[in-house]
Chains A and B, each alone.
Chain A
Amino acid sequence: MSSGTSWLDAWLERSTERRLLLLAFLSVAAGYAMVLLVRAGNAVPVDRAAFTPLLAFGASLLLVHLVFFFGSFRGDPVLLATALLLSGLGLLEQFRLGTLDVTRHDKWSTYAFPAGIAVMLAIVLLFRNGRHRSLERTSMFCAVAAIAVLIATIAMGHRFRGAVYASGNLTPTEVIKILMVVFLAGFLAAYRGDLARSSVPGLPAPSSPTVIALGLLWGLPMVLLVWQRDLGMILLLNMTLLVLLTISSGRLAYLVIGLLVCTAAGWAMLRFMPHSEARLLAWQSPFADPTGKGWQILQSLSALYTGGLWGAGLGSGQPQIIPIASSDFVYSALGEEIGYTGCGMILLLYLVFFFRGYRLADSLKDPFSQYLAAGLISVFAFQTLLNVGGVTKAIPLTGITLPFVSHGGSSLVTSFAALGLLLALSEGERTHRAERAHLSTPSRKKAGKKKSAAVDAAAP
């Protein structure tokens, strides 16, 4: 800790975070109490082990808060608290569904949440104070790393329900999300001028090397993903590509062209990927095959309808009837128990998260950081949209999980890693503003002048 700030400052700095984390914990605890009450009412023994997930959650929140306090972290508390509340709800639902078996020490998924927290803290500490800028140099390497991961998964993995998994049903391809966003942010920061160049007004005409480079480094992972039949990831990444392309070049034409290409590609995929046709049928006319292709989505919708406005109450519904309730359909499981109101609150939580994320991107100075933040947030946003849209039959199901709430191991760790990056970015931005706030406090003017000079020298 630098000499300029005192323990009290750091403590007060994190006061909002403290309040928010406490409220998040209490909300989850109230829900937990409901589940335990129902269990006790059903004469299921409630022993000490039942409290372990809640205590682990509380301990994790405390740990994060202390680390940030001791590290005099100045990042955005709202981003942190929203994500932690969402993952707390996910934890609650896993516990309620019975998939969170704390006695199973061999199962990797039991440790997903603590592992995620650890990864997040590690990344924050690693990349804070502007060190994330070093990632800009590694952007090309990230693309190569993504391709390598994909090849490795294909080579060593096995197919299950149409997608490719590594041993233990891990999906290492989740890390692709972060790698490709870092690559994209770096690439676009470097070549955005070229991408914005146009001869015909409105129509961008970037130079061939740029197009070829982007085509190869983006296209190759896409081809491998098609091989893996990971439709959700393809959609997700390409939507983010479109957004970032448009933002960086400032040309709306990319969006338009991109949408057209997406439609064509979508049609092609539907024609040639057998799995997709079933998905489309289930979406358009689930009642044509209610016990077969339409079963999943109809059970999801039935669960939601049974929940109604206020839900059956946590612990009182039967969400286990929904297939894959614990990962893809956790939104429906929650919807049955906390109702339309609860779902609305969850969506509001996500919107707060995205709002803060985009605001963060907005406030960052250099293009790489902006694109990195915007890209990561966009991935989260589209992921949530694809999942919620799928389980409510607004769009076909794409096998995407709900970030932070779904506790599929790799998905959770990757989401926390991305959160860590965002928090690291948010601190770098706040160091400047905090210093300006510091300067306004009269008693610290002298010390503030010294510090600001040092900071100004360090920051580019």
Chain B
Amino acid sequence: MADWLSADRLPTLLSFAKTLFFSLFALTLLCLLFARAPGAPSTKHRIYRFCFSVIALLFVAVFVHQASWQLAGFARPAFVEFQKKYNRRPDSPAKKMHRGNIRDRNGAILATDDADDAQRRIYPGGAAFAHVVGYVNNFYGKTGIEAVEEPVLTGYSRKNDEEEQRFALNLLNHEDIRGSDVVLSLDARLQREAARAMQGKRGAVIVLDPVTGSILVLYSAPSFDPNRLTPQLFATKGTGTPLLNRALNGLYPPGSTFKMLIAAVGIEKGLRGPLDCPGSGYTPPAKWAKPIRDHEYYAYARRGSVWPGHGRIGMDRALAKSSNVYFAQLGVKIGPLHLLGIADKYQFDKSLSLYDGAAGRMATIPSPFPKLDSDDFGASAQIGIGQGSLLVTPMHMALVGSAIARDGIMMKPRLSEKVSPEALAVVMAPATAKLLRSHLRTVVTSGTGRSADVPGLDVCGKTGTAQTPAGDDHAWFVCMAPQARPKLVVAVLVEHGGFGAEAALPVAVNMLKKAQETGWIRGPATEAPR
């Protein structure tokens, strides 16, 4: 008998038998319903009819309740989760639920379902996108966009018409349940370049569009392969903590890159004039204050000579040469109260949200601004040079750079272009920003940032070498190009990288060159395509 029932005959026979069964059953029911006892009895006791009505009503109620699980079970997220884990049937509807894809701005797929096994997720982008895209795993949980946009990716979200339609279809059709795709503002080509450039290093790379706030690159090193999650990843000692998103959640002293901000504050306060910068350094007027000296002092001292000092210099030269003496004085001149006053508008002590998803958000941790007393000039001198107890996230420095690039407007960072660009704050006047950019151009043409002078791009930027209590200095470089109307802002941090010019700058140059290659920036004369 088995050979007669070949594989292709069986389904047809079964569906025939199924139809037959339902038809016969329905026919039997009909006959039962209409079988009358001869001569209907007079209903002398209405109570029995009432009893039956109540019971029938209860049955209807239970049957309707049953539908809410049997037919519309998709509307219960906890139930769907349970079925994904524990419904062992090979044809369980949970196994046929297709999660939406995550794509970059050009449609490249960053996360998708395995073609053979809808339960498995594969990440073609690999380690380069791991921190942003995240992962979804039955054992290890969910992170990143996979976590934050879970309702959209699984088809639950009902925030707009398209999603409503999707949800309704998913509710009715148990066989083909789909989620919606999520498109990010990242540029996969640039992001991959960042991963390549940061190989063997620890730190972060951020590339922003200062006009709209779109994030093109958000990379943290070391990274991990989300296709291969292991328990070792979650160990806390000696692994370099690859799961940590340093761009958003790492706090580092900004070092000399902070001088951009101090310069802006100084310009706005009218403190643009030249200052004396002796070689011996500057001692702020505070108890137990030590002299703050230029980095050249220590370089000369190592060679056995004495640094003569910059002499009397203006702000542009101070920025170009990254003079600590100048900026320490500037910090003191600005004063602790004023510094405290501008902390809020520069978005300190605030968690900055990059992405508001249906199930959470991706945001930075706040950069804590030091709590200064009104007479703590020692601390304000330290803040002037980006040291002391000042700590910032790499994303925050990128945002400061983007404010300078956008003529004073700090745009809200966004990982999705579905939200309209929004301004976080106006931190400086357009004139200040333009002046600052020209100073920053000097840094690149004749200052510490010389190696970043890519021909035709008019790069402006600021290096940073931040001292840390333990280990080598952190290397920073924040730049933008082209000077006249910057199209991109690049921020690079290399943890314990040493000199900013040596460790962070080459990474940024690679990013700029890749951006030029892919058409983001074309030099000062032409507009860059999107």
* Chain A contacts to B: CB under 8 angstroms: 16, 19-20, 23-24, 26-27, 30-31, 33-34, 37-38, 40-41, 43, 46, 76-78, 81-82, 85, 243, 246-247, 250, 287, 290-291, 298-299, 301-302, 304-310, 312-314, 316-318, 321, 335, 338-345, 347-352, 354-355, 358-359, 361-363, 370, 374, 378, 381, 384-385, 388-389, 392-394, 430, 433-434, 436-437
Contact = CB atoms under 8 A, between A and B. Distances in A.
B71 A309 contact: yes
Nearest to A380: B55
A247 B51 contact: yes
B52 A85 contact: no
Contacts of A317: 89
Interface string B36-54: 0111010111011101100
21 contacts: A24-B28, A41-B2, A78-B32, A287-B79, A290-B86, A291-B86, A301-B70, A302-B82, A305-B79, A306-B89, A308-B70, A313-B18, A318-B90, A351-B59, A362-B43, A362-B49, A384-B59, A388-B62, A433-B39, A436-B39, A437-B39
Contact of A359 (B21, B48, B70): B48
B86 A341 contact: no
Contacts of A20: 28, 31-32, 35
Interface string B1-33: 110010100100111011011101111110111
Given A350-B59, A361-B48, 16 more contacts: A16-B35, A27-B24, A30-B20, A34-B21, A41-B7, A82-B32, A243-B51, A290-B82, A302-B92, A305-B73, A308-B174, A310-B18, A313-B14, A355-B52, A374-B48, A389-B62
Contacts of A392: 62, 65-66, 69-70
Give the dominant DSSP class at A's interface: helix
Contacts of A312: 91
A129 B2 CA distance: 53
A41 B7 CA distance: 7
B58 interface: yes
B71 A352 contact: no
A434 B66 CA distance: 42
A349 B59 CA distance: 12
A344 B44 CA distance: 31
B234 interface: no
Contacts of B17: 30, 33-34, 37
Report the interface size class on chain B: 35 or more
A24 B25 CA distance: 7
B115 interface: no
Contacts of B87: 302, 306
B470 interface: no
B88 interface: yes
B24 A30 contact: yes
A430 B87 CA distance: 52
Contacts of A394: 61-62, 65-66
A374 to B, nearest CB: 7
A250 B48 CA distance: 12
Contact of B70 (A33, A250, A287, A340): A340
A306 B48 contact: no
Contact of A385 (B59, B71, B91): B59
B55 A27 contact: no
Contacts of B31: 19-20, 23
A78 B28 CA distance: 11
B506 interface: no
A342 B22 contact: yes
Nearest to A20: B31
Given A27-B21, A306-B93, A287 B66 contact: no
A378 B51 CA distance: 9
Nearest to B83: A302
B35 A304 contact: no
Contact of B66 (A24, A41, A302, A343): A343
Contacts of A388: 59, 62, 66
Contacts of B359: none
B86 A351 contact: no
A306 B55 contact: no
Nearest to A76: B37
- 8 shortest interchain CB distances as A-B pairs: A363-B41, A30-B21, A305-B73, A23-B28, A27-B24, A304-B70, A362-B48, A287-B78
Given A37-B14, A78-B35, A358-B48, A335 B70 contact: yes
A349 B52 contact: no
B63 interface: yes
A37 B32 contact: no
Contact of B26 (A40, A301, A345): A345
Nearest to A43: B2
A339 B63 CA distance: 12
A359 B89 contact: no
A341 B45 CA distance: 34
Contacts of B7: 41
A352 B32 contact: yes
A430 B37 contact: yes
Given A77-B35, A335-B70, A381-B55, A344 B2 contact: no
A125 B91 CA distance: 50
B78 A23 contact: no
Nearest to A301: B69
A381 B56 CA distance: 9
A354 B1 contact: no
Interface in B451-499: none
Nearest to A22: B28
A373 to B, nearest CB: 9
A304 B14 contact: no
A306 B86 contact: no
Contact of B82 (A16, A287, A316): A287
Nearest to A316: B14
Contacts of B5: 37, 40-41
Interface string B200-225: 00000000000000000000000000
A357 B174 CA distance: 39
A343 B37 CA distance: 27
A307 B93 CA distance: 9
Nearest to A35: B17
A348 B28 CA distance: 11
Nearest to B2: A43
Contacts of B51: 243, 247, 358, 374, 378
Given A304-B70, A352-B29, A247 B47 contact: yes
Nearest to A33: B17
Nearest to A288: B78
Given A306-B87, A347-B59, A340 B66 contact: yes
B2 A40 contact: yes
A85 B55 contact: no
Nearest to B27: A23
Interface in B419-455: none
B71 A340 contact: yes
B131 to A, nearest CB: 30
Contact of B32 (A307, A347, A349, A437): A349
A354 B33 CA distance: 12
Nearest to B45: A362
Given A40-B1, A290-B82, A358-B51, A321 B89 contact: yes
Contacts of B35: 16, 20, 77-78
B70 A298 contact: no
B155 to A, nearest CB: 16
B44 A362 contact: yes
A23 B35 CA distance: 13
A31 B25 CA distance: 10
B525 interface: no
A20 B29 CA distance: 9
Interface string B276-300: 0000000000000000000000000
A243 B58 CA distance: 15
B24 A321 contact: no
A85 B86 CA distance: 34
A81 B31 CA distance: 10
A37 B15 CA distance: 11
B73 A301 contact: yes
A248 B59 CA distance: 24
